[in-house]
Amino acid sequence: MMDSNEDRVKLCIKRHPDWPDGRISNSLNIRMKEIEAIRLGIPVASQESAAAPVAGVGAAVSMSDVRQKLDTAAAIRREIVAIKRDHLVPEEELCRLTAGRDRNRFRRAVDNNPELARAHRIKLRLDESTEGKFFWGHAEDITEAARLRDL
């Protein structure tokens, strides 16, 4: 059975009374504050109870955080719901809102979800000098824009 940090520090101090706290800390791989507390006789939390919450916080990532960061198709759906009725958002803006700078991730999400693109995406040529740009919006707005475009 492994000795507690307190026992290890006390043994080290007994063997090497002239060592400073920094050297003990490096030797035993124990924090300086814990060594100072042991020298002053202040009770220190056990290693197991102190280590478990710290390891859990730093090592764990919730799946909702992962989904929110990496599920671009779901992010596109959330942004479409947030678009005001009778408004269309340029694809560049939607890409920035959902995938940040990663245009390829946005493109993959659109390519892998054709029903999403079919219902909420339209290519319009609003400026005579351009070949057209894609816009996103609610399905009803896209249907109306397609009807107006095809007149």
65-149 CATH choice from 1.10.3470, 1.10.150, 2.60.120, 1.10.10: 1.10.10
Tens of pLDDT, residues 1-59 = 557 888 888 888 899 989 888 888 888 888 888 888 888 877 766 544 444 444 455 67
Tens of pLDDT, residues 116-147 = 899 999 999 988 877 889 999 999 999 999 99
Q: Where in the chain is the domain with CATH 1.10.10?
A: 65-149
Place of tokens 């719901």: 81
> First CA to last CA across the chain, in angstroms?
83
pTM of the model: 0.57
Count the alpha carbons within 13 Å of 128 in the hemisphere toward its beta carbon.
0
- Given a contact cutoff of 8 angstroms between Cβ atoms, the answer to whether 59 and 40 are in contact is no
